[in-house]
Structure 1
């Protein structure tokens, strides 16, 4: 690359994704932009430790005929694209050449463009499309006989071998179980309350339950409800919802993302207009409404309205604390907690709110906190797929080791925790693989509920 190599010192700027433009799907133009970006990345290499996309790219360059990007075969570009799971860490935390820098480098959204082209060409396998259809395989949750049978079968080696052959799910990858009772079936709203003095954050909450909490771990949702009730914050469950669309986004199926948006946004916008804070427990879902949908649909006023109303739960709780409205009557010690900050939490530009909350608890009762800020490697469906599971375990290895860190007395953590429930289970499995002691796994909201003694 010619020109200055000084990096951008300003905050990253995101540009809208022009995915409705037919030129977006011009493969030759996309590959030209990939070549330009790969050339800059090759000359920098700061992101080599983030995921497998960058080592794959740099190996292709180093093993090519010229030692530069022009020596890499164009068909091998797909190897880089397939390793990207759109975590956004390169853009938001590492790359010095993102906008407003003149080089205007957007690695993740160029990967998205390539994935969208691949999807539109019909080159995404049916099994990958099925794995990304969370509403489809979640529909069996809450049907007792089916749940018991499915969960029992999924624990057996023959079924896992069959799943690997049919669905490409690695036979040793952790898979979530179906819940015996869906969150949305077992939760209801709470009453209203008068506006309190100093109440600047929205004093009422609408909960977008997410597929994972609804179908797999409803206990996380109930922990949130208990924390809200204790703080006298009235809440309702969003009247109806579909998957946020993030799994389809990661495949490049942008038409499906639009269908999910058309189902969710009009409903959520009504709550936003009525002054609700909308809370989503899963960081990927929160990010979808906060960033990706607004960039895909920049002219949709309802999308922008939902963006402004969407909160991470701990972002909301710490805002209430700043307003002097959060109860700090913590009663139960949590002991030694190893806490992992997930990628889709880091890139929301909200700061380390869960860590702040856990430290706030620590001023009242015993909490010894070890915070780990690095990708676990799970990345949605990436970490369970046969071609990538071992790579995901390799990416997460430093996290597994750091989460099991012992103090001077040789004691490790009592609890491990992550805002991303999937990452938490992946970390627990990785620690087991590394023959490290595996403490109890609890979501941060479960820890807060415990600290309150609820």
Structure 2
């Protein structure tokens, strides 16, 4: 029997703040399959002895079920070929690292479960073990550009509304026919906003400079251009200068989920010089999608720790509501709200929570008279492609069930989440005909602008 890592003497848990090590993905050991299996065994054994994260995603129940069903009820009797079943269920939400695990660095056991899963996904991707359907589904830039051509957008949206045609999409893209998928729009957000003048007035406040270069994102550009317009309107209403970046590529989060690190590098080579130049010219950065902010705030700096551009962008990128609350603290937020919002069931998405910025969206919306915020901090189960793929849709809906139940209990006027995909996934679970409203759109409505 292999020695259990848990049998070695060590302090129980840790009281120091978590720290993240750069991901050594260019090293030979990172890609060594035997070294990966040894590290999976080490970390899985620690997780088996702790089980604190069982209530998060399905990766941990999968692991513990494998152990409990083995002859010895220990990890040594679990086939290494079954490790992939655990990896498949991790969608890199990062909550285990940031909120649950007592053994993250600087603890000597050095457990980084999400980045270990990323390493396993990266190896599987290089071995060609990722389906063509999943590869297509994560190519958000190409899909968005094609689907946002006017006649194509109308056709794609019509196909997505047709139960019969959705079965064909299932075969091509691996999307479950019952999953809610986004609509595509023309003109895109970048086209709608490209001719707007930039207000050069800027008043610094706290860490903000009052000038924001907007990373529109694939989803914002093609699937929710109105929300991007709402964000620009709200920022300008608060005296913040806004401009679009000259060009942008996907942030890379869909490819991170896939384990395609080479593609992320190509995207970063396009994005980082443009973003860093904006920072050097005195602009802060924001994006309407929490996952994209997280990508530039955490994952890209850890993948490219030697990049001064990555570090500059990391220091200058903000969540939109984080930015506005910095302005509020300095007395610069416009609080002349004209419309109450009633009761809002507000879901805090995982990729925003793990940024450790606090509940800024809930705090700001709570300033609006006649508005009651019912906050929900639990995973929606969507997380990019996990919530729509044929292989994982049913499980994603099961993970979402407690949040959906809470929303029904609240009987809210609005369902809202900073992650539009999570919001729509939850609204879909509540009522097939209901839709979510992005918090920035609710804020614009409250301003009456």
Residue in 2 that maps onto 1:25: 31
Q: Is the 8 A contact 2:57 2:399 kept in 1?
A: yes
Aligned match of 2:232 in 214, 225, 237?
Answer: 225
- Describe the shift of the 1:200–1:166 C-alpha distance in structure 2 as closer, same or farther (beyond 3 A): closer
Specify which of 265, 268, 293 is matched with residue 286 of structure 1. 293
4-13 or 104-113: bigger deviation: 4-13
CA distance in 2, matches of 1:103, 1:276: 40
Alpha-carbon distance, 1:145 to partner: 1.6
2:425 matched to 1:430? Answer: no
Aligned-partner SS, 1:404: helix
Paired residues of 2:202 and 2:240 also in contact (CA < 8 A): no
Measure, in 1, the Cα distance between the counterparts of 2:203 and 2:80: 61
**Take 1:329 and 1:208, find their aligned partners in 2: how far apart are those partners?**
27
Long gaps (5+) in structure 2: 1-5
1:107 aligned onto 2:113 = yes
CA distance in 2, matches of 1:328, 1:347: 28
Conservation of the 8 A alpha-carbon contact between 1:37 and 1:105: yes
Shift of 1:294: 0.3
User: What CA deviation, in whole Å up to 9, does each residue of 1:411-442 have, x standing for no partner?
Assistant: x1100100000000100111127xxxx76521
CA distance in 1, matches of 2:148, 2:218: 13
Q: Deviation per CA, 1:113-170: give whole Å up to 9, x if none.
A: 0001101111111111110100111012442221111111221122111111222111
Distance 1:389 1:197, change over 3 A: closer
CA contact (8 A) 1:117 1:252 kept: yes
1:133 paired to 2:139: yes
Alpha-carbon offset, residue 22 of structure 1? 1.5
Partner of 1:214: 221
Aligned to 1:153: 159
Shift of 1:198: 5.6
Retained in 2: the 8 A contact 1:331–1:453?
yes
1:445 aligns with 2:437: no
Residues 196-246 of structure 1 deviation map (CA, whole Å, 9 limit, x = unaligned): 486752111100000001011101101001101211211110100010011
Check the 8 A contact 2:206/2:326 in 1, yes or no: no
- Is the CA contact (8 Å cut-off) linking 1:294 and 1:307 kept in structure 2? yes
- Do structure 1's residue 315 and structure 2's residue 290 form an aligned pair? no
Alignment correspondent of 2:419? 420
Structure 1 residues 197 and 281 mapped into 2: Cα distance closer, same or farther (>3 Å)? closer
| 1:320-370: CA deviation from partner (whole Å, max 9, x where unpaired) | 111111111111100000000000000011111111111122xxx101110
Q: Which residue of 2 aligns with 1:270?
A: 277
Q: In 2 relative to 1, CA 290–197 (structure 1 residues): closer, same or farther, beyond 3 Å? A: closer
Cα RMSD between the aligned structures?
1.4
Q: Distance in 2 between matches of 1:166 and 1:443?
A: 30
Matched-pair contact (CA < 8 Å) for 1:340–1:403: no
CA contact (8 A) 1:140 1:178 kept: no
Q: Helix, strand or coil for the counterpart of 1:360? A: coil
Structure 1, unmatched stretches of 5+, are: 407-411
Matched residues in 2 for 1:287 and 1:199: separation? 21
The equivalent position to 1:394 in structure 2, one of 376, 393, 398, is 398
- Partners of 1:58 and 1:197 in 2: CA distance: 51
Matched, 1:238 2:245: yes
Return closer, same or farther for 1:233/1:25 CA change in 2, 3 Å cut-off. same
Q: How many residues align?
A: 442
Q: CA 1:200 to 1:106, structure 2 compared with 1: closer, same or farther past 3 Å?
A: closer
Is 1:190–1:229's contact at 8 Å kept on the other side of the alignment? no
Structure 2 SS opposite 1:219: helix
